[in-house]
Structure 1
């Protein structure tokens, strides 16, 4: 007997429930049916067998109902009330009644839709304070549920590669019919390339506790601001979808916010989380994991379209979503495969090399320092001190032109390998900066100017310190005023590719500002969409 279909029909009727019902709403995914009754919600797992889960045995549905309740209590309170049996006796079904259990449901307190993150965003009710609270909650959550040896294995490079290939394999049957095969192939190739180039970073993540027992399905529709922050509907049916890098978990929410038209909110969330979690490395991975998550949503929609009998209007809406998710995945893929030319510039003793070396460490890319390149060009060792007047000897205009030409050539060689690169030099005039801009344009890469700033007193103190300590740079206190007079402000550099950092702040704060998504090119595109996308909703 097919009890489930009969139960689904009964749950549409208010009289079936053992409590008052104000209104019944039904929602459906490819794996569950949800009935909202006003005060309570009942969620029943469909008797389906898909490649990534098997809910056909009743015992499994019962088990995963309990798993769902237990796991979701980690990020919510007073929402998941328990698991109720739906019994059958003498030809009648009842919730928590007499007879043999023939189905199980997760019973929840119904949350007000007006308090969901997505509804509040569309009504303009979400501010930076609430996003900071959410970021802090998530950072604390990942710290409280750290990985063990079993969990960490799910974040290994080999596992990530296998998951990506599995996802692409599962999507291949939908090619042409549901999405563009050319875009699919570009994303596939970009993913493989990124995984090869960034293998050391994935290893670093597993060795430094970044793989956790996460949420697995972190989306704006699963987050509510009601009696604090409530996050519901985590993945319970398959551990490997929940055990992941915290950056992957957060990327799902960031991608969802992008999809809904709120990239600035997504950027602020990532910035704040990275700061709370002390995790600057995640900036390198965010676009990669956003792409992966957008592809997951594409696949889920394709499955939903394939396995569910739905009306034409809903089918058309799902098809539009598939197109939008694929477009997002394509944009992310272009971003994480496109190299960036980082130009770290500023006055002598402004902290350029310290910033450059830290960026090099975090991003795992090469840095070329003008001081080293200059001395190598003229056959000198790095710490050979050249006590020459300003703009004389190896610092003459001709020698500087050779040095900057060599810097750009070295940068071009890295870019041609598909790698990002950092140039650490003063770049004191518009001509030098113009040559860097031209290189970026000719090679079609991103370019970001990081201008290092410090007070006159601090810069002079750093220069004085060079008298007694080893220094690759030959700039000294006596050159300072001449450097200052010759340094041309970066007025010609557009704000969107110009980041100023005060190196009087901590190195951590400087790097956080540089890597913040608000300052990255990928978040500059389409920010106009983020001005209160309200749609036709009653707020």
Structure 2
């Protein structure tokens, strides 16, 4: 590493006195003016090999390729570094290269979403945009060939196991060592339990060439949109993964930044975009795995530190991620919430805070209805022959809602089903499901004065940006055909007036706990 330290010093002299130097556990990043240059450390670790000049060149080329998928205007090229470590030059004859660098356009300070989170400026709009961007990227990503090793459950189990050695090498005190051992046992048991699901998802094409490192430090807000950068180039096994494992990193990282509500907002927005509710059974495992990856990175950094002043913060960071892993591994208490209310009563808008605060998975009839016809949530169905609102289509929609609900509850996730549920026959199968699984259930009965409902529906229909396409005529039909709650249903119902925003804290004692 010593010759490379001299090379970095030499490059900083060439680039000028204002050059900013950033060091990670596997690379150096030099920031100069409008440019950035990234060099690989000459390391050989259990998950990467940058030991030779040729390997570093290959890694730089791969980094350029995979990141141009999402940030082509940031990743400009690969440059040879020629000359000598004491007097280096960026560019020149590739045959004379002493090292290689990825040349990037430098983005503005504060553009990282991690920085926004640190400033308390990460907003729901950023999260919704991220969900759209990530879902779109994954939809276009290459699918792992059937004969490839990628996405194999046994391989992921080995990667998960690799996280523990650097953490044990820190020689934690007995209590923390016991916690690590319990997490190790939990991961091993979950790996075996989830292996059939992982194989099924792989066969379905859910394993794709993704990002591999989707945390807030690798996500940007530039020119009013979310951007992904710094995908993993050094090990394809860490990039060719189930889409669920990819998004679990961001879900975990939002928790790590003290933003659990935004984590659940992101998950639900991604689920609505993709319809991939089959990812839910593996979510805890993937999130714990991701927390332990970050713990491992911190542990490796601690091992590279020369003095205790630098080593101690890295050890503390590793410990913090282990604590988060234990939190994410803790079983949750599933329960079922059914919305009930006509169009405009606030079923979606008023349950958004609830799903974020309580960590619920929401599945929406309006969204799933459009999915049946290949439509995005906000797309119009006007061009669909025969429309999408027939009774037969509704039967298919509610069958889909019921299946998603069953699978999510059985995976240990509390669920909110967002549909009108004004007909008793539509409510009954969901209530029967909850009873058969022995989970608590509630009916959230939303209502508002008819004049308020009419105005909400009129404005929403005119805007044309919501998944619901109900107009005032639809509302009138709903108002005329509402089935009253049975006595049993009424005993589980919360009657909620939505003329003002719902204060869910006031309803806290009436709702089951998710923890």
TM-score of the aligned structures, taking structure 2 as reference length: 0.68
Match of 2:441 in 1: 449
Query: 1:89/1:192 Cα in 2 relative to 1: closer, same or farther (>3 Å)?
Result: closer
Instruction: Find the counterpart in structure 1 of residue 20 from structure 2.
Output: 25
Structure 1 segment 362-441 matched on structure 2, within 5 A: 362=408, 424=432
Q: Of the candidates 143, 155, 160, which is equivalent to residue 159 of structure 1?
A: 155
Distance 1:287 1:51, change over 3 A: same
Work out the CA distance in 1 between the residues paired with 2:407 and 2:109.
Answer: 44
CA distance in structure 2 between the aligned counterparts of 1:254 and 1:137, rounded to whole angstroms: 15
Gaps of 5+ in 1: 367-421, 428-435, 441-446, 463-479, 500-518, 523-539
Q: Distance in 1 between matches of 2:256 and 2:434?
A: 40
Q: Is the 8 A contact 2:442 2:492 kept in 1?
A: no
What secondary structure sits across from 2:42 in the alignment?
A: coil
> Is residue 50 from structure 1 mapped to residue 32 from structure 2 by the alignment?
no
Does 2:241 align with 1:244? yes
Name 2:514's counterpart in structure 1: 521
Q: Tell me how far 1:120 sits from its aligned partner.
A: 2.1
Q: Distance in 2 between matches of 1:32 and 1:365?
A: 39
2:127 paired with 1:131: yes
Aligned to 2:345: none
Give the counterpart of 2:63 among 68, 84, 98.
68
Q: Is the 8 A contact 2:281 2:411 kept in 1?
A: no
1:303 aligns with 2:303: no
Q: Which residue of 2 aligns with 1:146?
A: 142
Q: Describe the shift of the 1:193–1:51 C-alpha distance in structure 2 as closer, same or farther (beyond 3 A).
A: closer
Aligned to 1:379: none
Secondary structure of the 2:101 match is: strand
- SS of 1:521's partner is coil
1:377 corresponds to which residue?
none
Q: How many residues align?
A: 405
Q: CA deviation at 1:296?
A: 0.8
Cα distance in 2, alignment partners of residues 159 and 497 from structure 1? 44
Q: Whose relative contact order is higher, 1 or 2, with alpha carbons under 8 Å and at least 6 apart? A: 1
Q: Select between 4-13 and 34-43 the one with higher mean Cα deviation.
A: 4-13
How much does 1:91 deviate? 7.3
Alignment-derived partner of residue 477 in structure 1:
none
- Tell me which residue corresponds to 1:418: none
Q: Deviations over 1:185-232 (max 9, x none)?
A: 221222233333334422332132211111111111111112343322
* SS at 2:232 equivalent: coil
Rounded to whole Å, the distance in 2 between the matches of 1:8 and 1:177 is 37
Contact 1:28 / 1:34 at 8 angstroms: preserved in 2? Answer: yes
Give unmatched runs, 5+ long, in structure 2. Answer: 341-394, 413-429, 447-474, 496-503
Deviations 1:24-70 (A, max 9, x none): 21111111111111311111111111111111110111111111111
1:496-537 residue CA offsets vs partner (Å, 9 max, x unmatched): 5977xxxxxxxxxxxxxxxxxxx9836xxxxxxxxxxxxxxx
Larger radius of gyration: 1
Q: Structure 1 length normalisation: TM-score? A: 0.65
* Matched residue, 2:271: 274
CA contact (8 A) 1:66 1:83 kept: yes
What is the RMSD of the two structures over their aligned residues, measured on CA atoms? 4.0
Q: Contact (CA 8 Å) 1:146, 1:209: kept in 2 or not?
A: no
C-alpha distance in 1 between matches for 2:246 and 2:196: 20
Q: Is the 8 A contact 2:166 2:299 kept in 1?
A: no
1:116–1:97: structure 2 CA closer, same or farther, 3 Å change rule? same
Matches within 5 A, 1:96-495: 96-97=91-92, 100-149=96-145, 153-169=149-165, 171-176=167-172, 180-227=176-223, 228-309=225-306, 311-335=307-331, 338=332, 340=334, 357-362=403-408, 424=432, 448-451=440-443, 483-484=486-487, 487-490=490-493, 495=507
